[in-house]
Structure 1
Amino acid sequence: MTSAWQPPKNYRTRPVALLGAGVLGRRIGMFYCVKLDTLFVQEVNNRAAAIWASAGYSVHVRDPSADQRAACETYVKENVASYAANTGAEPGKVTTFEDMAPALENAWLLIEAVPEKIQLKIDTFELVEKLAPADCILVTNSSSYKSSEMLDKVSDSTKARILNMHYYMPPAVMVVELMTDGFTEPAIFPFLVERLKEAATLPYVARKESTGFIFNRLWAAIKRETLTILAEGVSTPSEIDSMWGEMFIKGKMAPCKGMDSVGLDTVAFIEKHYIAERGLSGTKTVDYLQTNYLDQGKLGNKSAAGGLYPAPGSSETDGDSHSLVVLDIGLSAKEPSLHAGEVLQISTDGQVQKVLVTGQALPDGLAVDSASKRMFWTNMGVPGKDDGSVMSANLDGSDIRTVVSPGTVNTPKQLTLDTKSQKVYFCDREGKRVLRCNYDGSEFEVLVATENADSPDILKWCVGIAVAPSFGKFYWTQKGPSKAGQGRIFCANIQTPAGQSASSRDDIRVVLNGLPEPIDLEVDEEAHTLYWTDRGELPLGATEILSRNFNEAIGLKLDPVNNVIYTTDLGGSLYRCDRDGKHKVKLLSDENRALTGIALV
């Protein structure tokens, strides 16, 4: 393979083609309760049309059955809006075809979903090679066969653009797995990952070709052991399912984290008993652990060297080390003033390494763009006066620049970045607005103005901000009165609807309400999850409290590589905990500091 591969030209204006035959080819993922396997597969395949259309793509669906083409059109009509709610895009048009040639015309992506018969798939790819454009990416939705088994009748150049792309179910699961055919051009994978994120799916790429994908292999092992338990009379189906719900659903036990928690040495010891009793091979279990982990002192959570995951706070993050930058608002300084705020560099174990910037006017929100090696922060100034500002500097504190000058905004709070478009998003609390500008302060615009809302001023105060470009959305908090249970989280489209203004746009939605006092906000686009800090008491309703007992919690930052969360509070403390809120550790406590914004470097 070479690195000269280029994405399909003008792919945004070209269709995605879904190819079925007989009972297949309609959607990928939605699960209906039906009795016949053929009907079930029809529903499984229909979802692709709705998913890709929800991202704004035109979709061509080919099926020889008129009834099935009609069923596809009905499904998309009834469901595409719900998918598009997660993408923020105007849904594209879905067109059905009886014949293959017009369905493939000008397609940039073809999804093959013909019946799971290998010779049929081989013949299908031979035909597709002749009919589809030469730059069209060709994928099979098969989970039974590797795509390398379907290449007998295609050219070497076509092999480079074929791969597996498998969708899962039930409908709440938006996971998609990608896998090479052994010849697939490597650059196709990051390209498809970004396109799949546009459609609000969660793409995972298998590192090498495998019989079965990542999840299928996990599920195969679970099935085998479950059947063995039943065959030996050890338990019953209802007991197994009940225990699974308690341990893995309620308890959120994950395989690799679970082994790190138990200890890899203990895992190996237990596995040796199974090997001896059942006559199994230890090559890919105990021997693998011994060579790659135990011999290196990597025993899991109890080891400073970590285990399957790096130790929390470790710099062993796939070759990338990091530290933290944290804002001290200055109100608890030994000589407090409105200009005692500082930007601090702090190690991930809580040691203040350096004061990067001093003399800031109540700094509050902070974000880092690693590519440009610059950090951005807000200065609140005096609440009620239009003296707030947005600043930026190099990561070492040099080259300080004013992005938004005093006199433009009132009390800028949390700040976040869309690094791809190089936009700064931030909230103006007393200004009752959500704002955006370029990194240099140009193209300053008001995205949301709550001034005209029919509610008391304090309910209009905008505080936390997060942006999810892959969804086409941004989110913000309106905290309400202190600890009053009137806080809300909203979202709107990144693109303001045509002909509408910041105060009149009709795409604003309430995500959550009745919150005590929500402050900073983070979004995990891959997990479709919002995180936020709250200065109030316990909320009611369907929200999950990950960690409690902070002293006026403010800053929040996800570290997805190490699966931890960092938080700050006005009591001068910095904390770290797991993504599920467990193993909370106070890294820093200083009564002469009041910490606000936090970012990873």
Structure 2
Amino acid sequence: MSSTEFRSAFKTAAVIGAGTIGLSWTALFAGHGLTVKVTDPRPDLAEAVAAALAEFAPHLAAQGLDVTGLADRVHLAADVADAVRDADVVQENGPENLEFKQDLFAQLVAAAPARALLLSSSSAIPSTAFTGDLADASRVLIGHPFNPPHLIPLVEVVPGERTGEAAVRAAVAFYTLLGRVPVVERKEIPGFVGNRLQNALSREAIYLVEQGVVTPEDLDRVMTNSLGIRWATVGPFLGSHLGGGPGGYRHLAEHLGVSMKKLWAGLGQPSQSPEETERLVEAVEKAYGSSPYSQLAEARDRKQLAVLSALDSAERKEEN
């Protein structure tokens, strides 16, 4: 699908749910010139949307987007039916609850135009789990972002058992032309890929803190000064391939495979008892609780933009 075809296919987007993820999608869609209709039962919807657009506009501008008239492209909808009435694409961001999604997608299929692509930001529930009773599930699939989606490029595109290939191709085109990096995952698994990797690392991180090996802030320093840098540039498999020297991943597997398996067997299982959980929460709050959420989030986003900018510059140099 060319850029021109994209613009003709996707002009209006509906955002269902205006929490952290939904507001970020709203800004991204509007930043790329789409008309956006947002709905959420929260009583402060207008204020939340206005605040998010004001906060995220500089992030979009840093990515080369024209944010002139950004708010003019965003409209509040009275309900789900109103939001999706003329939509070309719908991005759902509701609670991570199976029954909720079953009911909501029944509404979306009934109310949205037949052409509309129906995407869910579900972070753990595969679409097959909530589309079994739908008359038409061919255009329903997962488009799971990483927070915040207007900054973090990855979108996991996960078709369900009844998703049509045309919908998969359309989702990939949609996210690509929004400057995202869609990765199609061909087998449904709870949590998909990104969250499973994140949870695996989080489990060991929690265990190490529980065991008194390291504090939360020092564990974060370990990550941001080693693996975070490496994985942001090459990822785990390419990093391991390079770690094997000229012999590559094969050399690494042959010479370190046995010791790696022994290490896997020794990875921890956090107890997460109420007492251990409370101690962990208190340790994290001691490390970061003195700073307001807005300040921490601003610092995170500023650093993430700097990383993305540096990577983009390096990739352009490689191409030239």
TM-score (norm 2): 0.71
- Quickly say closer, same or farther: Cα 1:240–1:95, change in 2 above 3 A: same
- Give the Cα separation in 2 of the matches to 1:527 and 1:183: 40
Asked which structure has the greater RCO (Cα within 8 Å, sep 6+), the reply is 2
CA 1:234–1:67 in structure 2 vs 1: closer, same or farther (change >3 Å)?
closer
Q: Assess if the C-alpha contact under 8 Å between 1:59 and 1:95 holds in 2.
A: yes
Partner of residue 194, structure 1: 173
Secondary structure in structure 2 of the residue aligned to 1:115: coil
Q: 1:593 — aligned with what?
A: none
Identity %: 25
Q: Alpha-carbon deviation of 1:199? A: 2.1
Q: 1:11 aligns with which of 9, 12, 20?
A: 9
User: Which of the pair is proportionally richer in helix?
Assistant: 2
- Choose the corresponding residue for 1:271, options 240, 260, 268: 260
The answer (yes or no) to whether the contact 2:138–2:162 under 8 Å persists in 1 is yes
Range with greater deviation from structure 2 (233-242 or 73-82): 73-82
Output the CA distance in 1 between the equivalents of 2:82 and 2:190. 33
**How far is 1:256 from its partner?**
0.9
Report how many aligned residue pairs link the two structures: 264
Indicate the residue corresponding to 1:147 in structure 2: 127
Root-mean-square deviation (CA), in Å?
A: 3.2
C-alpha distance in 2 between matches for 1:94 and 1:179: 27
Indicate conservation of the 8 Å contact 2:10/2:89, yes or no.
Answer: no
Structure 2: gaps (5+ residues): 244-251, 269-307
Q: Amino acid of the residue matched to residue 168 of structure 1?
A: F
The residue number in structure 1 matching 2:34 is 57
- Counterpart of 2:79, as a letter, is D
CA distance in 1, matches of 2:172, 2:309: 11
Q: In the alignment, is the contact (CA less than 8 A) between 1:65 and 1:98 conserved in 2?
A: no
Q: CA deviation at 1:152?
A: 3.2
Following superposition of structure 1 onto structure 2, how do residues 276-355 of structure 1 map, counting pairs within 5 Å? none
Partner of residue 153, structure 2:
174
Answer whether contact 2:119 2:142 (CA < 8 A) is retained: yes
Q: Does the alignment pair 1:260 with 2:241?
A: yes
Question: 2:88–2:113: 8 Å Cα contact kept in structure 1?
Answer: yes
Does the CA contact (< 8 Å) of 2:93 and 2:120 recur in 1?
yes
Change (3 A) 1:532 1:231: closer
Query: Does the residue aligned with 1:530 lie in a helix, a strand or coil?
Result: helix
Normalised to the residue count of structure 1, the TM-score between the two structures is 0.40
CA contact (8 A) 1:202 1:526 kept: no
Name 2:299's counterpart in structure 1.
none
Contact map agreement 1:181 1:209 (CA 8 A) in 2: yes
Equivalent residue, structure 2, for 1:79 = 56
Q: Name the amino acid aligned to 2:13.
A: V
Q: Which of 161, 186, 209 pairs up with 2:139? A: 161
* Mapping of residues 398-477 of structure 1, within 5 Å: none
Quick one: structure 1 residues 54 and 265, their matched pair in 2 at CA, closer, same or farther if it must change by over 3 Å?
same
1:94-127 CA-to-partner distances (Å, cap 9, x unmatched) read 1101222221112111111122221111011111
Q: By how many angstroms is 1:129 displaced? A: 1.2
1:268 Cα deviation from its structure 2 partner? 1.8
Q: Which has the larger radius of gyration?
A: 1
Contact 1:110 1:138 in 2 (8 A): yes
Would the aligned equivalents of 2:98 and 2:125 in 1 still touch at CA under 8 Å?
Answer: yes
Q: Which amino acid aligns with 1:180?
A: P
For residues 256 and 146 of structure 1, do their structure 2 counterparts lie closer, same or farther at Cα, with a shift above 3 Å needed?
same
1:119: which partner in 2? 99
Report the Cα offset of residue 58 of structure 1: 0.6
Return 5+ residue gaps in structure 1 as ranges.
1-6, 20-24, 27-41, 280-524, 534-555, 559-566, 568-601
Structure richer in strand, relative to its length: 1
Do the aligned partners of 1:54 and 1:87 also contact (CA within 8 Å) in 2? no
Distance 1:82 1:9 in 2: 22
For residue 189 of structure 1, report the CA deviation from its aligned partner: 2.7
Alpha-carbon distance between aligned partners in 2 of 1:526 and 1:209, rounded to the nearest angstrom: 32
Question: How many Å separate the matches in 2 of 1:250 and 1:275?
Answer: 23
- Secondary structure of the residue aligned to 2:14 is strand
- Which residue is equivalent to 1:501? none
